[in-house]
Chain A
């Protein structure tokens, strides 16, 4: 069965989503177990794939038995295997952790919710596993459509935020599709490996240049890279908490994966760094993104919006690192995909727990929170330390690679932006910790001296959060192994040392 892992990890969730939709009309109790089983199979297959990739380098799977470029092929290498594990594990943990809050918010339509949730994860996994640029677009549509629906079910302002996201997301996807059309005009192929073998003869073609620019702008729109970020903060803030903690860690990260995939596999580093010499421009755009993300986060008035701006700054980290054009920068960017997904999940789960108990995520709602929800706050602090970049946590190591990449490339603006953003993150998170620890929780009857009773979120919400928080440290400790065994082999030798 193991040769079918690449297709199983996409089609098992797809079939399960359909099954959940049917079962949702008959007996709602079975929806959650099916969803958990589907995502467990996906997680199991992606871990299995990662181990197989370590031996076999690249695993190809011909869908329908047609060899590429005539049929669609799945191709799994170290990079996609790593991101697959991240996506499936994050989605599974989040599903288990947010079960209670999902039931609280969507009691009537629970079948439809789980259907869309599993379909969204299917789309994300499909984007990562595919080796075909058009297949990627189709799965992009699935993730986009399901996330629009899930986000719009949030608070009062969520439908408007989601509509805004629909416009921007559609433009982004259309640009990507247009870029693929241009690639097809000049190469006649849709298979990534095939395109990259044809392209070297066409590096001077204006069509290829236009295809590259259009694709990249489309992908940047989807990942909320700074001047194109305007849809993200509202959409992710007003979404239901179970949805925020799914899309915030995964959507932007998967789009960064797409960007790196296009850079490394389709257009190849020779074209991007030697032929185009766009590196400087993009790194400076990333610097602006990091600065603006950090500054806007300082101005945010509630926790979720603050975290959304932090995500925008983090997108700047990864785009900048990938475009530095050296090994350390690319290593940092890829490592940060995994690390950032985990730490974003960690902080969003903590916020989700707080929303579940207090029904609010403004800074004032945090008063006395360390006494009230000590375990949740422990998780939040772990995520915060990782976002700031404090050593044993994984956030430190990816930032280390990014900074050393910046120094090697002589991009001191990028280095300064990283340091600046880390300091701002420290300010942001210590402000939260200060409110939660020192400001007393005022009970409704006004007795300031009344002792605050502990009112922690249910165990099913706290345990996954603490597992993720522990995972941040584990990832940090094993950074060396991850880099040498998984990330080093994917970076082409052309990118220097």
Chain B
């Protein structure tokens, strides 16, 4: 069986090397990839979409439809993780443990009993609870707002520099994941509950696809941002630039929440407890 695998690998490699014979030379300006479609993007994208970063123009406008479905792929990944991993609430353990934060005393409460009325001094813990490190907690807490600010900058600045919704969304998601790692998952969920991030994930993709549908309702083709000129009160070319910003925000929202959703489900094995 192993021999068979090696033969397949060698044959595939041989095919790829054989095909290289007819490749255009390295960085050949006369190669088809440089002459057919790309010159138009390079020469016209600023004047057609008023976006200086031509990667963004291609990604979010000329081929924006692909990007919409790439966002949907990320959304689908979040839903699949939830679908496969999340354990329904009724299967949770019947005993809950609470730790008194001032004295460090742990108490167990059976499901049938009443939960202590004042919970501010108590935090809910699992059996595998370990004391958090004060230095790590504090450093990460200071870092998180700056991360989020940078994430927002990356999303908003995709028009002019490398960046955009995907990268910015990942940075925003990472800030919440950092909070979950340095404190515990319950702290992060306390900031943004499961229902909220699940709904925001759909809303993010909905902003993208909904913008496309809005263009259709306004009388042009799907995702033809030029149609937005009528409601934004700008000329059609500037409307394209604004349209790109709107969908980038949608992408950022979807990617951020999908990252959080996937992390929460995997790190707590679907139980939404303390996590790692």
Contact = CB atoms under 8 A, between A and B. Distances in A.
B36 A187 contact: yes
Interface in A130-166: 134-135, 138-139, 141-142, 145-146, 148-149, 152-153, 159
Nearest to B58: A70
Contact of A188 (B35, B210, B223): B35
Given A63-B65, A113-B83, A187 B32 contact: yes
Contact of A185 (B33, B64, B220, B226): B33
A62 B19 contact: no
A7 B221 contact: yes
A177 interface: no
Given A64-B222, A182-B19, A207-B22, A11 B213 contact: yes
A189 interface: yes
Contacts of B92: none
B19 A135 contact: no
B221 A62 contact: yes
A116 B79 contact: yes
B15 A71 contact: no
B63 to A, nearest CB: 6
Interface stretch (B70-78, B119-127, B142-150, B165-173): B70-78
Interface stretch (A13-21, A303-311, A396-404): A13-21
Interface in A57-78: 61-66, 69-72
Contacts of B22: 186, 205-207
B206 interface: yes
A379 to B, nearest CB: 30
B62 A145 contact: no
A453 interface: no
17 contacts: A15-B213, A64-B64, A64-B223, A69-B37, A112-B82, A116-B79, A116-B80, A119-B76, A134-B66, A142-B72, A145-B73, A148-B80, A185-B24, A188-B34, A189-B36, A190-B37, A206-B22
A190 B258 CA distance: 29
A237 interface: no
B38 interface: yes
Given A66-B62, A108-B88, A119-B72, A185 B23 contact: yes
B63 A142 contact: no
Given A25-B198, A139-B69, A141-B73, A188 B83 contact: no
Interface stretch (A209-217, A280-288, A439-447, A479-487): A209-217
B16 interface: yes
Contact of B77 (A66, A145, A206): A145
A18 to B, nearest CB: 4
Nearest to A213: B15
B206 A138 contact: no
B224 A112 contact: no
A45 B16 CA distance: 42
B115 to A, nearest CB: 24
A65 B62 CA distance: 9
A353 interface: no
Nearest to A116: B79
A126 interface: yes
Contacts of B206: 15, 18-19, 22
B154 to A, nearest CB: 23
A138 B37 CA distance: 20
B76 A146 contact: yes
B61 A189 contact: no
Contacts of A113: 83
A29 interface: no
A53 B15 CA distance: 40
Sorted nearest first, the 8 A-B pairs with minimum C-beta distance are: A188-B36, A210-B19, A149-B80, A65-B224, A188-B32, A21-B202, A206-B22, A112-B83
Contacts of A112: 79, 82-83
B84 A70 contact: no
Interface of A: 4, 7, 11, 14-15, 18-19, 21-22, 25, 61-66, 69-72, 108-109, 112-113, 115-116, 119, 122, 126, 134-135, 138-139, 141-142, 145-146, 148-149, 152-153, 159, 182, 184-190, 198, 205-207, 209-211, 213-214
Interface of B: 15-16, 18-19, 21-24, 31-38, 40-41, 61-66, 69-70, 72-73, 75-77, 79-80, 82-84, 86, 88, 195, 198-199, 201-203, 205-206, 209-210, 212-213, 216, 220-226
Contacts of A135: 65-66, 69
B23 A207 contact: yes
A457 B201 CA distance: 38
A14 B222 contact: no
Contacts of B195: 25
B76 A7 contact: no
Given A25-B195, A145-B77, A206-B19, A11 B83 contact: no
Contacts of B33: 184-185, 188
A11 B36 contact: no
Contacts of B66: 72, 134-135, 138
Contacts of A141: 69-70, 73
A142 B80 contact: no
Nearest to B64: A64
A138 B209 contact: no
Contact of B84 (A15, A149, A187): A149
Given A18-B205, A126-B69, A142 B32 contact: no
A105 to B, nearest CB: 12
B61 to A, nearest CB: 6
Nearest to B226: A65
Given A15-B213, A148-B80, 7 more contacts: A14-B72, A64-B225, A113-B83, A116-B76, A189-B32, A198-B32, A209-B19
A71 B222 CA distance: 12
B133 to A, nearest CB: 35
Nearest to A194: B36
Contacts of B15: 210, 213-214
A184 B223 CA distance: 25
A69 B18 contact: no
B273 to A, nearest CB: 18
Given A116-B76, A145-B77, A184-B33, A71 B62 contact: yes
A35 to B, nearest CB: 14
A115 B81 CA distance: 13
Contact of A14 (B32, B201, B209, B223): B209
A71 B31 CA distance: 21
Nearest to A135: B66
Given A11-B213, A187-B36, A142 B73 contact: yes
